[in-house]
Each structure stands twice: as structure tokens, then as C-alpha cells.
Chains A and B, each alone.
Chain A
Amino acid sequence: MGTFLVFLAGMLFMAAIFFIKPRAKQKEIWKTVLNWVLFVVWYAITWMGISFIYINASVGHVKATSTAIFLFLGISVVLGFILARLLGFIKVKKVSDSATSQL
């Protein structure tokens, strides 16, 4: 199972790189770098969490498993949301425009 998870992590890493490549490149270099760094950090934390939870759950460390679910996956969701926002997967409607048009 461990070997399969390592294989899966590698495949998904490559797939994700190809998937976000067109959106990661920005006009400013620092924004491009920020996107890639955030992606690598998010990916590493997510898989560290999955590995940590998997091993602790299989041994039977109940508190470690439940704590890790909140800790690692919580960080993963927050970072994932920020990354999705920066890459443009999530767009925010401009409320002020619609408000102006009603006047």
C-alpha cells in the first residue's frame, strides 16, 4: 500500500504540474514564483498528512490520527483555497459594479 501511495503521489504531482502550468505563469515573475512555491508547499503538506494519517491509523494511534486529520487536512484545504484563488480557478464577483448599476 505504501509503495502504491508513493507511485500515486508522483503521478498526481506530474499531472498537477501540467494542469496548472498555463495558469501559473503571470506577467510579474514574483507572482509566477509564488504560484509554484505555494503549489509545492500545498502538495507536500497534503501528502505528508495523508502518509501521517495512514501510518497512525494502521497502527492504531487514535488521537494522533484524529488530530492529524484536523491539522494536516485543515492546512491543506486553506492552502488549496488560496492557490485556487491565485490561479483563477475561483473568481469573485465584483459586487460594487452591480450596486452602481442599480442606482
Chain B
Amino acid sequence: MDNKEQKQTYKINRRGFLKVGAAATAMGVMGALKASTKVANAANETLNYVPGEKGQWSKLHPNPDYSGAAVRYVEHNDEWLGTTRIVGKIKNVSEADMGFNLAARGLLGEEAQKEVLRFVSKYPLSAALSKVLSAIAPDSAVEGKPAEKKLPIPDPEQMSKHIKDVAYFLRADEVGIGKMPPYAYYSHRATVGRDLMASLPVESWTVPVEERLPYVIVVMVDQHLETTLASTGYDGISSAQSFRGYHATGNIATILAQYIRNLGYNARAHHARNYAAVMPPVIIAAGLGELSRTGDSTIHPRLGFRHKVAAVTTDLPLVPDKPIDFGLQDFCRVCRKCAENCPAGAISFDDDYVEYNGYLRWNSDFRKCAVFRTTNKEGSSCGRCMKVCPWNSKEDSWFHLAGTWIGSRGEMSSQLLKSIDDMFGYGTETIEKYKWWLEWPELY
């Protein structure tokens, strides 16, 4: 009798077996999930950090500010960088071949070669900004060895939110994190001032860029709304507007890179006085803009062209943001306002892209742009395309929010927004009441 009972006790039917198995699997999964949360929370507990909500952009800016634009996200892949089509191998370019350096080397004419040395410094305010920015120009300011001991940090998602909050805390207007495209690095970077570029062989003042880090943090600062409203785009304040952005972003990026190195990870800052990478591709990779009709400048859905950026390349574990698509390719195809207003005639009126270094873009001429900006006799540098572009944010209002929404909805609505922009005179007006700066035409 006892043996019979014992046998019944151990007997289990197939349904029961499956139920027990399912329950054990569910408990295992729940346990694993809880355990990983506990691990993350353990790090957060020692850091006294309350994690941000899932899907949140950052704690200080829970949502990214794209104004009214309808934004779609683009996956990272090898055939596209955001909305830019890659059709071949993109070669890394040398810093020696960027516009102002071509001017300094005497390849854009005698006048440009002479004026490139003073086109910023001839206006006292931009000269001041540039000089102060030079303090963080040396390699020792932008790069260095990380701390030997890595400090505990939260998981990559929370760390990404934290890094964005650091940038906002340091007064960035926008920040994004991208997968660093390897072709965004310069092949070689310049190591001397522009005054020496013509007299020495290129090989003697360029060094190869060998760094390859997986992520890039891009910080963006506005070039100032009211100043843009009052400026022609190519008067005295133009270069100071640029250097307002360069100075602010350069400092933010340099501090951010040093902070990451203090945590024990590699990081290098890239700013206007010390680049090892080209900025437009990293802006696109970090979801802060699309390539525009100008060919080598990007437009942000809220700030338009009215921004400057600096970047930090790093191996800090982060979760990169996705590139964005807010309909700019359709918009630029029909608008052409920058081309109509460019004093240098540097911006293309073409309908279609051309192939350039392995990717498709509009056929604008950065050489003409560099010549005009260096030799401008009515001011210092030029930002006329920035001034007239309908994507530049205006004052906060329901109709400008509606306008950016309309502009991001395809070619027909883009044509409508451009027509409305022209009808109301936005972009081409100069509002005198905001003109706060001084002009010294004798210096130009």
C-alpha cells in the first residue's frame, strides 16, 4: 500500500509537466529582469542618481525641441547618413583643403590670401571672441589621457541622458549623440596658423588623424535671434555671431571632454580652433540636422542655419540618437531663397544633386563662399544664407510653429511656406530697433 502511494506521489502527467515548466520559465525571466534592474539600480544608488523615464531625451529637456516640424527618425546604415545618400566610398578629407585654408595657401587668389588673415580680427568684437577661444586651442586642452581608474556610471541609456544634461547645464542650446562616422574624421589636420600655410609645404604642417572612437556628442549654440533680425547677414557683426557660437560650443565641448576623461574614458573635443573632424556629418549622425542646398552646411529644424557646433568623440558607453528627417530635402529643392540671396553666387540653383566624394549633395561652391567671406568690404565674413533661410526660428508664435509644420510636409507645402515667407517679408528685412552693435566701415 505504501509503495503504491509513493508511486502516485511521484507520478506527473504531461499537462502538469508543461505547466510547471512554463511557470519556472516565467519566474526565471522575471528574475533575470529584476536582477538586471537591481544591478542598474545598485549603480544608481551609489551615485545617488534617480534614473530618467524611459524614452525621455534628458532630465532637463524631456523632449527635443524641433519647433513645429514633423520629424521622422532614420536608422543608421551604410547607404545613408540621415537623408544623405551614400553612393561610393567617402574619402577622409584633409583640413588643409577646407575653404579658408585654401585661401591661406594662396589657391583662391591674392586678395583672399591677404584678407583671410584679418577677416575675423578686423572687427573688434569677433577679434576678442577669437582671441579668447584660442586659449583652448592647444592639443593639451582638447585631448589627454583618461583617469587611470574608471568611476562607476549608470547604464548607457541613463548615461546618455546625463551627458545631455551636462551639456544643457553648460548652456548648450541643443545636444545630440551620434555613432561617429569614420569618414567624418579629417585624414590630416593642420598644426600651424594660417599665416604660415603658404610659406611651408603642406606635408610639414599637417599630421594624420588616427583616432577612431565610436561615439560623438555634438553641442549646438544659437547665433542669436534679434541680432540676425537686425543684420543684413554680411555686416560687421556677422563674424562675431559665428564666434559667439564657436566660443560657447568650444568651451562646452572642451569641458565635456575633460569631464569624460576624468570618469576614466577617452574623449577628444573638436572646436573651431582645433578640429580633427568635419562637423556636418557628425551633426547629421547626432540627429541635429540635415544637409542643405548650400552643400556643406546643415539645417536644424528649430534653429535653421543659425547655429554653431563643437563635438566630443568618445568611447564612453552611450546610446546614440538616430539621424532625423524633417522634409528638408524636399524643402531645399523648391525654396532656393539662399541661392537667390547669396552675395557670392556660391549656392546652386540646380534641381538635383551631384555626386561629391562618394555622396549626393547640391553642387554649391565653397571656394566662392570662402573668397566672399574673406574679402567682404561691407563687413566681416558673411551669413546671408543663415539670415534668409525660412527654417531659422523666429519669435515664439503659433503661426511660426504652423509654418515649420507646413514646411516639413513635402514639396507642395514647402512651396507654400516659401511663398508665405516671401509675402510677409521674413528673412530679407532688417529690424533697426535690435541693431545694438557698432560699425567701423574704415576697418573693412
A51-B398, A59-B395 known; A64 vs B425 contact (CB < 8 Å)? yes
A68-B397 Cα distance, complex, nearest whole Å: 15
Most-contacted residue by chain B among A51, A52, A62, A64 (CB, 10 A):
A64
CB-CB < 8 A to A55: which residues of B?
A: 395, 397, 399
Q: Are B424 and A63 in contact (CB under 8 A)?
A: yes
**B-facing mask of A59-86, CB < 8 A → 1, else 0?**
1111110011000000000000000000
Give min CB distance, A25 to chain B, whole Å.
Answer: 33
CB-CB < 8 A to A52: which residues of B?
A: 399
Question: 11 extra interchain contacts, Cβ-Cβ under 8 A, other than A61-B426, A63-B429, A64-B425?
Answer: A51-B398, A59-B229, A59-B394, A59-B395, A60-B431, A60-B432, A61-B425, A61-B431, A63-B424, A64-B426, A67-B425
Report the 8 A-B pairs with minimum CB-CB distance, sorted nearest first.
A63-B425, A64-B424, A60-B431, A59-B395, A55-B397, A60-B433, A67-B424, A64-B425
Flag whether B423 is at the interface (Cβ < 8 A).
Answer: yes
CB-CB < 8 A to A67: which residues of B?
A: 423-425
**B-facing mask of A10-21, CB < 8 A → 1, else 0?**
000000000000
A51-B394 Cα distance, complex, nearest whole Å: 15
Give min CB distance, B383 to chain A, whole Å.
Answer: 20
Give min CB distance, A98 to chain B, whole Å.
Answer: 46
Most-contacted residue by chain A among B229, B397, B432 (CB, 10 A):
B397
Question: Which residue of chain A lies nearest to B431 when distances are taken between CB atoms in the complex?
Answer: A60
A47-B429 Cα distance, complex, nearest whole Å: 26
Q: Are B425 and A62 in contact (CB under 8 A)?
A: yes
A68-B423 Cα distance, complex, nearest whole Å: 10
Most-contacted residue by chain A among B394, B424, B432, B434 (CB, 10 A):
B424
Most-contacted residue by chain A among B398, B399, B426, B433 (CB, 10 A):
B399
Question: Which residue of chain A lies nearest to B433 when distances are taken between CB atoms in the complex?
Answer: A60
**A-facing mask of B173-217, CB < 8 A → 1, else 0?**
000000000000000000000000000000000000000000000
CB-contacts of B375-410 with A (<8 A): 394-395, 397-399
Give min CB distance, B418 to chain A, whole Å.
Answer: 15
CB-CB < 8 A to A60: which residues of B?
A: 229, 431-434
Q: Are A61 and B429 in contact (CB under 8 A)?
A: yes
A98-B45 Cα distance, complex, nearest whole Å: 94
CB-CB < 8 A to B431: which residues of A?
A: 59-62
Q: Are A62 and B395 in contact (CB under 8 A)?
A: no
**B-facing mask of A28-63, CB < 8 A → 1, else 0?**
000000000000000000000001100110011111
Give min CB distance, B404 to chain A, whole Å.
Answer: 16
Give min CB distance, A62 to chain B, whole Å.
Answer: 7
Q: Can you pick out 5 interface pairs between chain A and chain B where the beta carbons lie within 8 Å of each other?
A: A52-B399, A55-B397, A56-B424, A63-B429, A67-B423
A60-B433 Cα distance, complex, nearest whole Å: 8
A55-B434 Cα distance, complex, nearest whole Å: 16
CB-CB < 8 A to A51: which residues of B?
A: 398
A55-B425 Cα distance, complex, nearest whole Å: 15
A67-B394 Cα distance, complex, nearest whole Å: 18
Give min CB distance, B430 to chain A, whole Å.
Answer: 10
A55-B424 Cα distance, complex, nearest whole Å: 13
Question: Which residue of chain B lies nearest to A68 when distances are taken between CB atoms in the complex?
Answer: B424
Give min CB distance, B352 to chain A, whole Å.
Answer: 33
CB-CB < 8 A to A68: which residues of B?
A: 424
A62-B426 Cα distance, complex, nearest whole Å: 9
Give min CB distance, A91 to chain B, whole Å.
Answer: 38
CB-CB < 8 A to A64: which residues of B?
A: 424-426
Question: Which residue of chain A lies nearest to B423 when distances are taken between CB atoms in the complex?
Answer: A67
CB-contacts of B41-79 with A (<8 A): none
Give min CB distance, B3 to chain A, whole Å.
Answer: 88
Give min CB distance, A75 to chain B, whole Å.
Answer: 14
A65-B424 Cα distance, complex, nearest whole Å: 8
A61-B430 Cα distance, complex, nearest whole Å: 9
Give min CB distance, A55 to chain B, whole Å.
Answer: 5
A67-B425 Cα distance, complex, nearest whole Å: 9
A62-B395 Cα distance, complex, nearest whole Å: 14
A51-B429 Cα distance, complex, nearest whole Å: 21
A52-B424 Cα distance, complex, nearest whole Å: 11
A64-B429 Cα distance, complex, nearest whole Å: 10
Give min CB distance, A53 to chain B, whole Å.
Answer: 11
A20-B434 Cα distance, complex, nearest whole Å: 45
A68-B424 Cα distance, complex, nearest whole Å: 8
A18-B431 Cα distance, complex, nearest whole Å: 43
Q: Are B398 and A62 in contact (CB under 8 A)?
A: no
A52-B402 Cα distance, complex, nearest whole Å: 12
Question: Which residue of chain B lies nearest to A56 when distances are taken between CB atoms in the complex?
Answer: B424
Question: Which residue of chain B lies nearest to A65 when distances are taken between CB atoms in the complex?
Answer: B424
